[in-house]
Structure 1
Amino acid sequence: MGEIMKVRKRNEIDNKYKWNIEKLYEDTKTWEIDFEVLKSKVPELQKFSGKLGSSEELLNFLEKDVEISRLLDKLGRYAFLRGDEDTANAEFQALKNKISAYSAEVSSASSFFIPELLALPDGTVEKLIEDSEKLKIYEVYLKKILSQKAHTLSAEQEKILASVEDCLYAGEEIYDMFTSADIVFPKIKDESGNEIELTEGNYSTFIKSKDRQIRKDAYEAYYGTYNKFKNTLATSLTASMRTCIVNGKIRRYDSALESSLKPNNIPVEVYENVVDTINNNLSSLHRYVKLKKRVLDLDEIHMYDLNVPMVESEEEYMNYEDGVEIALEGLKPLGEEYLKIFQEGIRERWIDVYENKGKCGGAYSRGCYDSMPYILMNYNNQLNDVSTVAHEMGHAIHAYYSKNAQPYMYWKYDWFCAEVASTTNECLFMDNLIKNEKDKKKKLYLINQQLDSMMGTLFSRTMLAEFEKITHESIETGNHLSADDLCKIFSDLNIKYYGTDMVLDQCVEIKWSTIPHFYFDFYMYQYVTGFAAARSFSKMIIEEGESAVERYKVFLKSGCSDYPINMLKKAGVDMTTSKPLEDAIRKFDELLDLMEKEL
């Protein structure tokens, strides 16, 4: 039996591969000082209650609210980033709990604001803005609030809801803690016979192994572990769904889906259009599955075969430094300014690069108005990890542009736009690799990689979005969904999406329990719309050059200063139509045609 390989502890990783968290706060002592400052300022909000009909008092409240919100964001970001470094670190988990609990008090202290603002006679707020030059900066922010008048409660009701906010979202916190700190996977053998500790971080490597038995072992070990806790995880997830549904009902929306979309002025039809358009083109996914089965020479194709490339190519070892250079090369069409910001991020240590014991799995980009962007990764020296660097830097630079162009209340881009910049980077990165690859076999391998990525985004994530829609609607009609119910819904969707060639092992039905995005209600479809918009942007950038880059950068700098549909439309992408989705599917079909012809 080979040597058991361990995941490194955090103190065993060189500091140059860790994010520069000290630039946010030097240590927990300095954090605690600011926390006390926050607690001293929050009560000041209450003195504005009942006085918002004055332009001076309204302005003073908004400025005080921004001051407190910025400090809360900074404290919260530090606590959560440190907590994700090592989910078993009691000190950092205590900070997370502390700021989470207090954030509810902050919400409660300012909960009078929106109801009181909406209670003012019609036209009052517009007149206050007209009379005060300083209030004009808040005009879009205030008018967005006014547009939600029909869905806002009384001041007392809003205060009650704000005071229990941390309790309402306990399902998400339970899930995060369970999957990050408590769940333990078995060991499996790698291709050399070494026993390896299976983790959230290295699962993606094993599932791509050329050795089918290793793929099968990893798949069954991973999902089999989640399956042991399916009842607990079902309770956690349905609790989160019920929170969304109850919130929608309390705020007088027609559905939970509408309550998630309407605040950003996104028609429910946009969500339904994603599901319908992809459902109408599932034949493309069925072709993909059939081709993979034939090329891999399989009697049966299983879900654990989907990540294996159809073209054999030796996986290149790409250390982090080389990966950064490859990513930069692919993003050259975005121009010198963009590349300099990217290089600044590497130099200033925006990225926490490698996996360590207890570290949160996956990858994300998060920051606040008063910090650099921060990127969490679990870099594993493969092409996919380089693509992830480009992807997460897309998020980070989107935030960077927005923060530097917008005042605080407009800097955070809306969820609908959240995946556009990151996926545009991915598209440019992969298109560049394919274009410049001279070796036919490697080129086909890269095309296969792009097909796999598009399959996962366009089709798989639409399936997850449809799962969210079905489950929320079922609970809304009074059904109680058990773990077995969730498994049945998920299994039926897999049968529809992947077609008759796919053999569905029992493990597949539990995959719903491994999706953290389900705790961010109706988030998943935005990967699909984001991908479709990104493909449109990347195409324009390559074909039109600087003029398209400038339009794109205007979008990146816009934050939430307008509604997302409007900002995308101004930049040349209309997501109220099916065209961006259909164009993305057409690109998938073109790549599939090429693979079928060559293989």
Structure 2
Amino acid sequence: MKSAHLPTRREIPDRYKWRLEDIYPGDDAVERDFQQTLELAARVESYQGKLGTSARVLLEAFQLQEQLDMLNEKIYTYARMRRDEDNTNPVYQALSDRAESLNARVQAAVSFFVPEILALPGQTLKKFLQEEPGLALYRFMLEELVRQKPHTLSASEEQIMARAQEVTQAAANIFRMINNADFTFDPVKDERGREVELTHGRYLQFMESRDRRVRRDAFTSLYRTYRRFQNTLAATLGASVKKDVFYARVRKYPSALEAALFADNIPVQVYDNLIRTVRGNLEPFYRYMRLRKKLLGIDELHMYDIYTPVVKDVEWTIPYPEAVEMVREGLAPLGKDYVETMTGGIGAGWVDVYENKGKTSGAYSWGPYGTHPYVLLNYQDNLNNVFTLAHEMGHAMHSYYSFKSQPYVYAHYKIFTAEVASTVNESLLMQYLLQTVKEREKKIYLLNHYLEQFRGTVYRQTMFAEFEKIIHEQVEAGEALTPELLCTIYHQLNVDYYGPEVVVDRDIDMEWARIPHFYTAFYVYKYATGFSAATALTRRISSEGSGAVERYIDFLSRGGSDYPLQLLNSAGVDMTSPRPVQECLDVFARLVGELESMALGVPGACEL
């Protein structure tokens, strides 16, 4: 699908588009649900002040709230996904804005639930649970509400907080529009000297180019644009961080970090253990950078040199249909039901495949309860995008099993466990390819790619996590996040993490300005912890077979019915200990040695 210019949405064949008609057959149906949602919100509000009246009334209120939340989720998801197809489409810009407003209205309508329930004496809740069998479904949810009591405000204050949500999301929304709809980058001449439009979706492809001039030009073009807007982008990120600090303080958390971790019931030591363990294992990463420099045959290893494959002779173009087949074969250890459901979904409109003008960059999996999951891609014909497909289908299948097995109240799993599911898929795919690909150069290429997953998912995301921790602490200490400060912090972290073999180009100092995850506070650490947990689970699936697969599918099927650490414990991984991260980094160190052996012509097996 690559061409000199991006196609419009209409130019993409329908077989490569997701089928959002499975959510709503048309926009008229959305309008009907808008009105029904407003009516349900009013009905929910009529229960205010009555939740402690009887067990039956409490059950009715819970059931009505579920109906409201399901309908609101359906509208919000549909509107956002329609906008993501083409951010320049004014119809879906407007629909998305209206969905944001509706969501704020819904949150305001249900805002009395938590404070009112928490105001009930513990004996009253216990009595209600005994009297009304229907409330048994909500026992874990009620226990979770009681855990939140120290950070819950009065009913009127919660309503204010809910109404403020639309305003406090402004920084993220502004960044999204600037980044996806407004930014244009200077074109880049490709390997044949042809001028090609530089886009978010094509940037990594340029970074993987064998032509160093192409890599450098794309790198320079991208960050030149971000630097031109550094003051606006610093103000936008600063506003988002201030929002995080505001919510943490109002809800009486010691810090924004603890506020973010509280939702998943994750102790701070999990976050700190990650940073400490990764920083204690930087030498294998420096060794990998030294090897990369040697294999590329360059005097200086720059930041634009760290994505290109180190194997010069491998040209591996992988069209999307071939990628689907690779993923299907690679995930065969997860069983017939998993593979058939996944491939059937891919063929039935679950996936939006190719980049088009205005489409949201990157990749994600989403979808409302009651329909199938969806995946947004911006597929390019390379190995990295094959793994992106496997990754996002991991999220999609997690949703499929969770939605299939859990009632709405427990169907939505936490992000902490979500990244486990996506990374297990990637690890199994890598294992399959290393076992089946015969060409030595391709095996080296794969091994390099696997090491890049460690670099990007463990080392890089941990560096991001440390950056987030530092900038939130700066704001909490009363400091302003100026462009100069952000660039200084980010530059030093790159120096620390990449080590003495890498020239940390000044352009990379602006990378903080293009990371959308920074607008969802303390999210990225979950990639690193998820990768670590997934490494352990993959080894069990491969070595133990059906028993481990059954436990894993059960883990996927339990959704959000327990806290993430407990769910992972049931699957055999203890993330309160630094051990899984250390074991993951031990694998990385061993794989660096394997790459050294294979790339230098010394026989050696790739033990995963």
Letter in 1 for 2:459: F
Shift, 1:495, TM fit: 0.6
CA offsets, 1:54-105, max 9 Å, x none? 1111111110100010000000111000000000000001000001012111
Whether 2:527 is the aligned partner of 1:527: answer: yes
CA offsets, 1:522-546, max 9 Å, x none? 0010000000011111110000000
Partner residue in 2 for 1:276: 276
Whether 2:130 is the aligned partner of 1:121: answer: no
Partner residue in 2 for 1:13: 12
TM-score (ref. length: structure 2): 0.97
Pairs within 5 Å for 1:574-593: 574-593=574-593
Partner residue in 2 for 1:56: 56
Partner residue in 1 for 2:288: 288
Asked if the contact 2:72–2:102 (Cα under 8 Å) also holds between the matched residues in 1, the reply is no
Shift, 1:16, TM fit: 0.7
CA offsets, 1:141-166, max 9 Å, x none? 11101111001000110011111111
Asked if the contact 1:313–1:445 (Cα under 8 Å) also holds between the matched residues in 2, the reply is no
CA offsets, 1:259-301, max 9 Å, x none? 0112221100000000000000011111111111111111111
Asked if the contact 1:4–1:195 (Cα under 8 Å) also holds between the matched residues in 2, the reply is no
User: In structure 2, what is the Cα distance between the partners aligned to 1:210 and 1:263?
Assistant: 44
Shift, 1:442, TM fit: 1.3
Asked if the contact 2:181–2:358 (Cα under 8 Å) also holds between the matched residues in 1, the reply is yes
User: In structure 1, what is the Cα distance between the partners aligned to 2:562 and 2:424?
Assistant: 21
CA offsets, 1:488-540, max 9 Å, x none? 00001001001111111110100001110011100010000000011111110
User: In structure 2, what is the Cα distance between the partners aligned to 1:221 and 1:126?
Assistant: 62
Partner residue in 1 for 2:545: 545
Partner residue in 2 for 1:34: 33
Partner residue in 2 for 1:405: 405
User: In structure 1, what is the Cα distance between the partners aligned to 2:4 and 2:327?
Assistant: 30
> Any idea what SS the aligned residue of 2:122 has?
coil
Partner residue in 2 for 1:214: 214
> Any idea what SS the aligned residue of 1:365 has?
strand
Partner residue in 2 for 1:199: 199
> Any idea what SS the aligned residue of 1:419 has?
helix
Letter in 1 for 2:577: T
Partner residue in 2 for 1:382: 382
Whether 2:442 is the aligned partner of 1:451: answer: no
User: In structure 2, what is the Cα distance between the partners aligned to 1:163 and 1:500?
Assistant: 50
Whether 2:248 is the aligned partner of 1:248: answer: yes
Partner residue in 2 for 1:366: 366
User: In structure 1, what is the Cα distance between the partners aligned to 2:467 and 2:183?
Assistant: 24
Partner residue in 2 for 1:348: 348
Pairs within 5 Å for 1:411-490: 411-490=411-490
Asked if the contact 1:331–1:339 (Cα under 8 Å) also holds between the matched residues in 2, the reply is yes
User: In structure 2, what is the Cα distance between the partners aligned to 1:86 and 1:4?
Assistant: 18
User: In structure 1, what is the Cα distance between the partners aligned to 2:450 and 2:331?
Assistant: 16
Partner residue in 2 for 1:233: 233
Q: 1:539 to 1:30 in 2, by over 3 A?
A: same
> Any idea what SS the aligned residue of 1:418 has?
helix
Partner residue in 1 for 2:259: 259
Asked if the contact 2:573–2:580 (Cα under 8 Å) also holds between the matched residues in 1, the reply is yes
CA offsets, 1:286-335, max 9 Å, x none? 11111111111111110100011122243322221111011111001101
> Any idea what SS the aligned residue of 1:264 has?
coil
Partner residue in 2 for 1:65: 65
Partner residue in 2 for 1:187: 187
User: In structure 2, what is the Cα distance between the partners aligned to 1:286 and 1:410?
Assistant: 43
Shift, 1:346, TM fit: 1.3
User: What's the Cα RMSD here?
Assistant: 1.1
User: In structure 2, what is the Cα distance between the partners aligned to 1:257 and 1:552?
Assistant: 30
User: In structure 2, what is the Cα distance between the partners aligned to 1:89 and 1:203?
Assistant: 24
> Any idea what SS the aligned residue of 1:164 has?
helix
User: In structure 1, what is the Cα distance between the partners aligned to 2:124 and 2:146?
Assistant: 11
Asked if the contact 1:490–1:512 (Cα under 8 Å) also holds between the matched residues in 2, the reply is yes
Whether 2:319 is the aligned partner of 1:316: answer: no
CA offsets, 1:11-30, max 9 Å, x none? 11110110011111112122
User: In structure 2, what is the Cα distance between the partners aligned to 1:506 and 1:515?
Assistant: 17
Letter in 2 for 1:348: A
Report how many residues are paired. Answer: 597
Partner residue in 1 for 2:605: none
Shift, 1:126, TM fit: 2.3
User: In structure 2, what is the Cα distance between the partners aligned to 1:383 and 1:264?
Assistant: 33
Asked if the contact 1:31–1:75 (Cα under 8 Å) also holds between the matched residues in 2, the reply is yes
User: In structure 2, what is the Cα distance between the partners aligned to 1:446 and 1:317?
Assistant: 14
User: In structure 1, what is the Cα distance between the partners aligned to 2:247 and 2:313?
Assistant: 50
User: In structure 2, what is the Cα distance between the partners aligned to 1:418 and 1:122?
Assistant: 33
> Any idea what SS the aligned residue of 2:225 has?
helix
Shift, 1:123, TM fit: 2.7
Letter in 2 for 1:277: T
Shift, 1:4, TM fit: 8.4
Letter in 1 for 2:436: N
TM-score (ref. length: structure 1): 0.98
Letter in 1 for 2:512: W
> Any idea what SS the aligned residue of 1:51 has?
coil
Letter in 2 for 1:243: K
User: In structure 1, what is the Cα distance between the partners aligned to 2:297 and 2:348?
Assistant: 48
Asked if the contact 1:315–1:382 (Cα under 8 Å) also holds between the matched residues in 2, the reply is no
Shift, 1:433, TM fit: 0.4
Identity %: 44
Partner residue in 1 for 2:170: 170
Letter in 2 for 1:398: H
User: In structure 2, what is the Cα distance between the partners aligned to 1:87 and 1:102?
Assistant: 20
User: In structure 2, what is the Cα distance between the partners aligned to 1:231 and 1:287?
Assistant: 37
Q: 1:4 to 1:258 in 2, by over 3 A?
A: closer
User: In structure 2, what is the Cα distance between the partners aligned to 1:514 and 1:124?
Assistant: 50
Asked if the contact 2:233–2:513 (Cα under 8 Å) also holds between the matched residues in 1, the reply is yes
Letter in 1 for 2:115: P
CA offsets, 1:401-439, max 9 Å, x none? 000000001000112112110110000001110122222
Partner residue in 2 for 1:139: 139
Shift, 1:48, TM fit: 0.7
Asked if the contact 2:314–2:445 (Cα under 8 Å) also holds between the matched residues in 1, the reply is no
User: In structure 1, what is the Cα distance between the partners aligned to 2:418 and 2:218?
Assistant: 31
User: In structure 1, what is the Cα distance between the partners aligned to 2:383 and 2:283?
Assistant: 29
> Any idea what SS the aligned residue of 2:193 has?
coil
User: In structure 2, what is the Cα distance between the partners aligned to 1:224 and 1:288?
Assistant: 29
Letter in 1 for 2:449: Q
Whether 2:189 is the aligned partner of 1:150: answer: no
Asked if the contact 1:19–1:374 (Cα under 8 Å) also holds between the matched residues in 2, the reply is yes
User: In structure 1, what is the Cα distance between the partners aligned to 2:340 and 2:30?
Assistant: 31
Shift, 1:381, TM fit: 1.4
Asked if the contact 2:314–2:441 (Cα under 8 Å) also holds between the matched residues in 1, the reply is no
User: In structure 1, what is the Cα distance between the partners aligned to 2:340 and 2:4?
Assistant: 38
Pairs within 5 Å for 1:495-506: 495-506=495-506
User: In structure 2, what is the Cα distance between the partners aligned to 1:292 and 1:583?
Assistant: 23
Letter in 1 for 2:48: S
> Any idea what SS the aligned residue of 1:375 has?
strand
> Any idea what SS the aligned residue of 1:201 has?
helix
Partner residue in 2 for 1:111: 111
User: In structure 1, what is the Cα distance between the partners aligned to 2:327 and 2:264?
Assistant: 32
Asked if the contact 2:129–2:136 (Cα under 8 Å) also holds between the matched residues in 1, the reply is yes
> Any idea what SS the aligned residue of 1:7 has?
coil
Asked if the contact 2:314–2:442 (Cα under 8 Å) also holds between the matched residues in 1, the reply is no
Runs of 4+ in 1 over 6 A off after TM superposition: none
Partner residue in 2 for 1:87: 87
User: In structure 1, what is the Cα distance between the partners aligned to 2:198 and 2:122?
Assistant: 60
Letter in 2 for 1:427: S
Asked if the contact 1:83–1:93 (Cα under 8 Å) also holds between the matched residues in 2, the reply is yes
Letter in 2 for 1:364: Y
